[in-house]
Structures are given as C-alpha cells and as structure tokens.
Structure 1
Amino acid sequence: MIQLVWFRMDMRVHDNPALFHACQQGQPVLAVTCLTQQQWQQHGLGQRKWQLLINSLHGLQQHLHDLNIPLLVLNSGDFHSSVDDVKALIQRLASSDMPVSDVNFNLEYEVNERKRDIELQRWCQQQNIGVNKFHDQCVIPPGEVVTRQQQPFKVYSPFKRAWWQQFDRYNQAPLAIPQPPVDAITPDLQDIVKELSAALPAAENDPLWNCHELAVHEQLEEFLQHRARYYADTRDFPASPGTSSLSYALSLGLISPRQCLYTAWQKNGCQLSGGKAGLASWINELIWREFYRHLLVAFPQLCKHHAFKPETEGVPWRTSAAAERDFQAWCEGKTGYPIVDAAQRQLLDTGWMHNRLRMISAMFLTKHLLIDWRRGEAFFNQHLVDADLASNNGGWQWSASTGADGAPYFRIFNPTTQSQRFDSAGEFIARYVAELATLPAKSRHQPNSLECQQNQYPTAIVEHKFARQRALDAFKQTMAEANNDAVQPSLIE
C-alpha cells in the first residue's frame, strides 16, 4: 500500500501536515504535483510567479528525493484535468499491485480549488481510498473564529480579538521534517514514476526572490532577529527595507504561516500583543492574512468578482475612452502623481509592491480615477510574485470601500500628502521615477508644470480636489439608491 501526497501551493517539507502524516503511516510515500498552467492563465496569474513556482518545485523535488520520496509531475492543464490525472495515476498503481491506501493534501480555500478537492474525495470514497485533508494556510481554520451568533466576522478588529481568544487551542510548534519512510520505493514504482512523470520546465534564477526552502527559513530568522525590532516604525516607509519580504514565500507555500507566527510569538515572549512593538505589529499583519482567508471561505462570492458589500455593486465606475487612457497611464506609472508612479514601476520592475504603496495606488485608481477595483485587482494579480486571491482581493476591496471594513466610503487618501509623509525625502520616488531624481526633495512629491516639462514627466492626469468630490458624489448616489432614496442623477464622467 502507498501513501500519496498531492502537493499544491505548499512547496516545502518543513511543517507540511499532509506530508508529515503520510510519512507516519509506515508505508512508501509517493508525491505528485499537477502543472495546471491553463488554469493558472484562466485565473490571470503572471509568468513571473509561474517561474517562481517552477523554481520552487525544483527545490521541493530535491528535498523529497533526500527523503526517499519521488515527485511525479503531471501536465494537467486545468483543475478538472488534474482530478482525472490523479485518478488515472491511482488506477495505474492499483493495476501494478501497488494500491494507494490514502490520498493526503493540504486544503486550498478558493471556490475552484474546493470543487476540485470535493470531486476527488467523492471518487476516492467510492474506491475505498482514504482521504486526509489538512489546514496549512491558516493557524486557526476558517469557520472557527465566529461571533456569538455563530456568524463570520465582517470587520477585522473584532475578528482579531476573537482570534486571540482561540489561539491557545491551535497554537503548536511547527512540524519537523518527517522521517524518511521505512519501506523504500520499489524499482517497479520508480519505473512508473519515470514513465508517467513529465519533465519540470527549467529553473530560472531570479536574484530578487529565492525559492529554496532553507534560504526562506534563514530570511525569516534574519528578519525576526534584526529588522522586526523596528518593524512598527519602518513598515510604512517604502524607501527603507523595513518589511520581511516573505509574502511571495507564503503565497507559494515555501514557508507556513504557522512557522512565521509561532517563531515571532516565541521571540515576543510568547505574546501576541504587547511585548516588542515591532514583533507585535508583524504578528498583527499575519492575523490580517488569516482574516482575508476566513472571509474567502465564509463568503465564496469573493472568488467570483463580487463586491463584499452588495450595495456597492452599483458604483458607476468610469468606462469611457478617457477612463481607458487613465487606466493605461496608471498601469505604466505615468499618472503625474510621483508616489503612484513609483509604486507602479516598482511592481513592473520587481514583481512586488510595498504594502503602503498598494493602498495608495489602489485608492488612487478606484477613488481618483473612479475605475473598477476589479481591473486593478487583475493587474496586480498578473504582476505580483506574491499574487494571492484572498489578500489581493481583500486589499483592493478595502481600498475601494467595497470590502470588509467599517470605515465609510469617504476615506480617500491624498497621494501627495501620503508621499510627503511616508517618503519625505523623495528617496523612493527618485529610485523608480528617474525623471524626478535631480529635483529637490520637496519638489519630487508634486512637481510643477515647468518641472514636469523640463524633466519629460507627465502632468497630473486628474486634480485631487475634483477627483475626491467626484468619488464622493458617485458613492453617495450609489448608497442612496441602495437605500431606495430618491436622488437626482449626477454627472459622473
């Protein structure tokens, strides 16, 4: 009998519940992964993150080999095909007198992924094959943090307080690397792996993003030992290396959220709040990540491009030719707002954007340009190396005032004052908007028309005061209509 482990976005051997469980059963372990590139493209994910996934699989394959576990690679196309391919693999093994005893995998929470897993589980039950499912994307599983009325939380702060209360129940040390299976993989099974396994596409080193699991662990340790001490003070300043830069590794499953949170919790004197301000602040960000995953399960419409607040579905987003020109200027970092343009160019250059800048850029697109948040969400999804539906959707809807947030729609960042506050010396702007690097620091935040002309930098595509009022009018009208109030139509374009 064989234990089959299906790897998805959990590219690691440390703290991997599905792998650990399979290795405890005293049976040979076979790993499988499905390269669903067509599904990847349907979900709008970009080539850069796809390459990081491939790089991660190369490292995983070597780590599993060291544990005497072969990794079989299937070119499945999409999720539906992946289920058929795993079924065919199980049937092939059974016909060779190597039946699968159990299928083990870590759960994913998106709608399509859940449908895939339900389909496989039903088939396995018909075949009397065990299915062992594990939570590894959240420290506390979705559905376990609810209100007194057993309803999901819709706002972060009360969710966090309830999450704290549940933490002791689920807090445990990360799982170690499992011991290699006692029973070795037979030559016959090795032959099947060679016959059925596709070759992994070539790894391509990305100097910005290391896809080796051990290096990611070292990155976590280095951050917690040094920069985390100042995280609360530096996390909002994009010119400083104040963040962990681990979001890409979490999104690929190169490291588990439990590994991150447990290690930070220990270093903070076993406290979630209080203790060292930097560590407590970073722990808070990890809980934000959990919140968005819990929302994804409680409100599956978030996976289907719907606004969390139904009443905001009627916001009259701009769709004219002028709006399209504005959207392209935003995509290319040519809006005439230096902090927005620097943020967009950082994304295009590196595949990553600082979190403060994500809020500024997203709010600029949705409030200043009044362009549908879904378009911005899709653009980020295509370019981010840490692209992740729960966090990306949550962040965009927060910025657009359509999401899970108690603040009213009239929260609208002024990008210039945000720039002056969080990049006071214009250092980050100079780094990514080279046209403005020779200007005095104060001028970099809002160059005048002559400075723009001399430095071949675009003037602002929209005036802040006008844009703010336009957004307020659009949301006010939408809210009134949602409440069945009679209002006079207003000119939005």
Structure 2
Amino acid sequence: MPQLIWFRNDLRIHDNTALHAALQAGPSIAVFTPSPQQWLLHDDAPSKIDFLLRNLAELQKSLAGLNVPLLIRPTESWQEAPEVIAQLCHAFKIDAVHVNTEYGIHESQRDAAVGAHLVDQGVLFHSHLDQLLFKPGSILTQSGTYFKVFSQFKKACYKSLYDAVPAIIRTPQAQAPLAITSDPVPCSVAGFHAIAPERQTLWPAGEQVAQQRLKAFTDAAIHGYLERRDFPAQAGTSQLSAYLVAGVLSIRQCLHAALSANQGEFASGQQGVVTWINELLWREFYTHILVGYPRVSRHRAFKPETEALAWRNSEKDLLAWQQGRTGFPIIDAAMRQLLATGWMHNRLRMIVAMFLTKNLLIDWRAGERFLMQHLIDGSLAANNGGWQWSASTGTDSVPYFRIFNPVSQSKRFDPNGDFIRHWLPELKHLNAKEIHQPKLLTGLFGTADYPKPIVDLSSSRVRAINAFKDLSLAAE
C-alpha cells in the first residue's frame, strides 16, 4: 500500500527509521512542509533555516537514487499541518504516514493533531524512535520518575547500553520508479534573511560531508577530546552539532563511530572517547527533561521556586552583551564569534550564559532566546538545558553560588589570548598577560577603542548570591 514519509529534522537516507519502515511497507513518496511562521515563533536562526534548506536539497538528490519523489507543501504554521497532510494522503491514496518522533511540546501537539485527523480518513500514523537512543519514559528512577540529575541518568543509560546498543538501521534499496515528479526545493523562505556564501562554506550541506566530518573526528581528534575540548582557539570539538540538529547525522551513527574508536567500550579505554559519548548523553538527557518536565518547553524554570528570582531589567547591559561590548574580552570574543559564524564554542556558551545570568543578573530567557535566534545548531532541549544549568534554575546539582569568573576562565582556556585576538582585533597588540584584562592598562598602552567593563565582577557576584539567598528565605 502507498506510504508517505514526512521529513522534518531528519534529513538523511542512511539510518533513518521512518524512511526504512515506509519503504519496507510499500511504494513511498516523501514530503517536507516548510513552516516559516512556526520557525519564527520558535526563534530559529536564519543560518539554521538556510542550513536546513540546503540539506533538504541534498536529501532530494539522495532520495532520487531511491526513486522516492520529494514533495514540498508549505504551511505558515503547524496548525495547518493536519489538513495539508490529509489532502496529500487523499490525492495519492496513502495508506500510512511515517514520521520520526519529535519532542518539543508544539511538535508533540502537531503530531497528535495530524494523527487524529488521519484516523478519520482511515490512514495510519506511525511515529518512530529515531532522534534518541532511548524512548522517553524508558530511562526512569526506581520510583518511576524522570531523572533530574545527569550523573544518575548517565549511569542508567550505560546499564541499558551494556544490555543492547541500538542498531543502525539498514539503508533501504531503491524502489520501482513512480510516475510522480519531485517539487523544487526552495532556497529561502519569507522572514529569514539570506546567508552570505562565505558563511555557508563553514557548514557544507549533505550526508557525505557529515559522514566525512564524523570520520575525521573519530579517527583522530576524538582521542584528545578530553584535553582539548575546552580551548576555543583549538579545533578540539567535533563541530557536528548542526548536522545532528538537522538530522543529517543520527545519534546512533555517532555512538557507533565512537565505540569503534574505543574498542566497543563506554566507560573505559580512551577517555576522550568516553567524554564525547557523555556529551551525546547530555543531549539525550535534556530531551528527556523536555518530555518529563514540559514546563521547560513553556519558557518556565525547571526549578519552579526560581521563578520568583528578582532579575534585573537592563536593556543597556543586555545590548552590550549581545553586541560583544561588555569590556570582558572572552565574553566579547565569544559573542562576536556567534554573530559572525552562527556557532559558539561549548565552553564559551557556559561562560557567556553565566556572565549574563549571574554577573548581570538578567533573566536567562533573554539569553536563551538571543542564542536561539543566532545558532545554526539551535536546539530547544540543549539550548534551554544549558541556559538553565548556567542560571541555577535548571538541573545543575551544584548550588547557585557556582559562578564562573570570566577573567579566570579566559586565562585558563585561552592562555595565550589567541581566540581573543582573532575576534577582537583591537586587542591584538596586547601580550598574553594583558589581553585578559585590558582595563588594567592606562596611558599610551591603553585600549581607547575597547569598552571599559560594564560591571564589577566581585560586587556583581555578591549581588547574585544575595538574590538567590533572598529567594531561599522567601520560600521558608
């Protein structure tokens, strides 16, 4: 019977659960539904949408090799999805629709609405586990609740992985050609500005590129991942996150590549490999949090008691942070990297988030939204989880007095100032000691074109701690 594969953030033909299931069941066509108003509502970045569309064009070429036509059915928002998918099913006499499950609250509501609408037409709706290693609800505490602490979640994941590693799904064989012509893939959509070609070259599209990057990382760089991952001037991270978010790579492919580099070990052997596997499990953890505690999908704090925190409302300070003009070089270099490339090093994401929420005491939601609006790898689960961890409103088990000192972090993770000099050319003349605190320089050796610090680190740290203390006292 005719099948429909509805692609979303799973733009690959290899190790694709829904695609494999559909082609096993019968002759299949594929559809993608661009939804610009929904993407704007979710604060998706122009670079993320550009990357999605470029990968969609590559996916169409790959599907052509399987004789699977790809149709494009635009919808302004996901509220239109039930009717659009139903019309497609009626037109092509579709027996069943296959999707890979997505986990945000709007995504879940969309799929539930589509499934319910299709039932009335006698069309089956199959939702497959694909974005995660473990189905949410399968990794629980002994009391049957979702884990709130990563270390405990990781331990449970390891136990399950020792029992069985999720297998990579076989790439389907080509089906017989269908008398259906694919639609042109749009290169842009309304509401999202064009991305410069030189910026696109930083993130080439397609499964082949993604697989090449994964292989290059796991063949060599992964072994030094533990030692190098926190140094932004070094190529110590995988930089695969954008491919994972768009679904050009699968989590299973990444896990199997890591295990292959470590003789099949999860928690022993090469510590760089183990550390990277743990990073994959962090992504898993934050998605399980999204399902188990849906309030975080609604811009609410994971720790409800922190909703009463007395955040500062300072548009001036927020703008300085957004523009990379805070007077703290490591903060400003990180923000300028984001604005120029659509990506930010993971260590720097923690540093800039903690500076905004602790030193400036500005609501984490303002920072979460700004990064989401600029990140090519913007993911609700990972971005929200990281921001709430830094703001002490989330799953971090360490108390609120964990506050990174940006100067200390700068000296530790960019000791020679190479990363700072790259993104702050106005400071390139400073030596390795001076570049972390240019405010200490005066006279001819000063930096007139670089701003003074917008906040005192010591007093702002005390202010943040007192704000959390007041919150605790009010709750008693």
| TM-score tier after normalising by the smaller chain length | over 0.9
Distance 1:73 1:168 in 2: 41
Q: Match of 2:248?
A: 254
Q: 1:445 aligns with which of 423, 426, 436?
A: 436
Matched, 1:127 2:127: no
Q: Secondary structure at the match of 2:31?
A: strand
Amino acid at match of 2:390: S
Alignment partner, residue 21 of structure 2: 21
Cα distance, 1:262 vs structure 2: 1.6
In structure 2, what residue type is equivalent to 1:42?
L
* Residue of structure 2 aligned with 1:472, choices 465, 469, 475: 465
Match status 1:200 vs 2:193: no
Which moved further from structure 2: 167-176 or 391-400?
167-176
Q: Tell me the equivalent position of 2:347.
A: 356
Query: What residue ranges of structure 2 are gaps of 5+ in the alignment?
Result: 189-193
Residues 148-203 of structure 1, C-alpha deviations (whole Å, 9 max, x = no match): 1111110100110011111245513312321112x431x3xx1xx56xx4652269
Deviation at 1:137, TM superposition (A): 1.2
Separation in structure 2 between the aligned mates of residue 331 and residue 453 of structure 1, nearest angstrom: 24
Match of 2:229 in 1: 235
2:166 matched to which residue of 1?
A: 172
Match of 2:454 in 1: 461
> Which residue number in structure 2 is paired with residue 218 of structure 1?
212
The answer (yes or no) to whether the contact 1:79–1:116 under 8 Å persists in 2 is: yes
Question: For 1:316 and 1:377, how far apart are their aligned partners in 2?
Answer: 18
Deviations 1:192-236 (A, max 9, x none): x56xx4652269751100111111001000000011110000000
Conserved? CA contact 2:403–2:461, under 8 Å: yes
Aligned-partner Cα distance in 1 for 2:244–2:216: 16
- In 2, the alpha carbon distance for the partners of 1:461 and 1:55 equals 40
Contact 1:220 1:244 in 2 (8 A): yes
- SS of residue matched to 1:171: coil
User: How far, CA to CA, are the matches of 2:89 and 2:23 in structure 1?
Assistant: 18
- Corresponding residue to 1:337 among 328, 333, 355: 328
Q: Quick one: which amino acid aligns to residue 463 of structure 1? A: D
TM-score (norm 1): 0.92
Q: Considering only aligned residues, what root-mean-square deviation do their CA atoms show, in Å? A: 1.4
Distance 1:208 1:455 in 2: 33
The alpha-carbon distance between structure 1 residues 257 and 268, as it changes in their structure 2 partners (threshold 3 A), is same
Deviations 1:397-445 (A, max 9, x none): 0000000121100000000001001111111111111111111111000
Q: Distance in 1 between matches of 2:129 and 2:164?
A: 11
Q: Which amino acid aligns with 2:51?
A: L
Cα deviation, 1:290-318, whole Å, max 9, x if unaligned, reads 00000000011110000000010011110
Q: Work out the CA distance in 2 between the residues paired with 1:461 and 1:170.
A: 52
Structure 1 CA distance for aligned equivalents of residues 386 and 436 of structure 2: 24
**In 2, are the aligned partners of 1:436 and 1:455 still within 8 Å (CA)?**
no
Letter in 2 for 1:243: T
Going from structure 1 to structure 2, the CA distance change for 1:449 and 1:315 (only over 3 Å counts) comes to: farther
Partner in structure 1 of residue 191 of structure 2: none
| SS of residue matched to 2:166 | coil
Show the counterpart of 1:92. 91
- How far off is 1:129 after superposition? 1.6
Alignment partners' CA distance in 2, 1:211 and 1:168: 34
Question: TM-score, normalization: structure 2?
Answer: 0.95
Pick from 372, 376, 397 the counterpart of residue 381 of structure 1: 372
Counting only pairs closer than 5 Å after superposition, residues 141-152 of structure 1 correspond to structure 2 as 141-152=135-146
Question: Share of identical aligned residues, percent?
Answer: 44
Question: Residue 272 of structure 2 aligns with which residue?
Answer: 278
1:311 aligns with 2:305: yes
Give the 5 Å matches for 1:341-420: 341-420=332-411
CA distance in 2 between partners of 1:313 and 1:50 (Å): 32
- d(CA) in 2 for partners of 1:312, 1:454: 39
Runs of 5+ unmatched residues, structure 1: 94-98, 484-493
Q: Which residue of structure 2 lines up, in the alignment, with residue 96 of structure 1?
A: none
What is residue 491 of structure 1 aligned with on the other side?
none
2-side partners of 1:198 and 1:141: how far apart?
35
Q: Is the 8 A contact 2:427 2:447 kept in 1?
A: no
Counterpart Cα distance in 1 of 2:244 and 2:344 = 15
Q: Measure the CA separation in 1 of the matches of 2:403 and 2:210.
A: 36
Q: Using a 3 Å threshold, how does the CA distance of structure 1 residues 184 and 169 change in structure 2: closer, same or farther?
A: farther
SS at match of 2:238: coil
Corresponding position of 1:11: 11
Query: How much does 1:136 deviate?
Result: 1.1
User: 1: CA distance between counterparts of 2:319 and 2:185?
Assistant: 38
The alpha-carbon deviation at position 360 of structure 1 amounts to 0.3
CA distance in 1, matches of 2:250, 2:118: 27
Q: Give 1:489's aligned residue.
A: none
Deviation at 1:271, TM superposition (A): 1.0
Distance 2:162 2:433 in 1: 49
Please name the residue that 1:301 is paired with.
Answer: 295
Q: Which residue of 2 aligns with 1:40?
A: 39
Deviates more, 1:157-166 or 1:75-84: 75-84
Moved more, 83-92 or 449-458: 449-458
- Shift, 1:125, TM fit: 2.1
Paired residues of 2:57 and 2:185 also in contact (CA < 8 A)? no
AA paired with 1:450?
T
* 1:128 Cα deviation from its structure 2 partner: 2.1
Letter in 1 for 2:2: I
| Structure 1 position 126, deviation (Å) | 2.3
Contact 1:435–1:455 (CA<8 Å) still a contact in 2? no
Task: Give 1:453 shift.
Answer: 4.8
Q: Distance in 1 between matches of 2:215 and 2:473?
A: 51
Deviations 1:228-273 (A, max 9, x none): 1100000000010000000010010010011101221122111111
Preserved contact between residue 140 and residue 170 of structure 1 (Cα < 8 Å): no
Q: Is the 8 A contact 1:220 1:260 kept in 2?
A: yes
Query: Distance in 1 between the 2:113 and 2:402 partners?
Result: 43
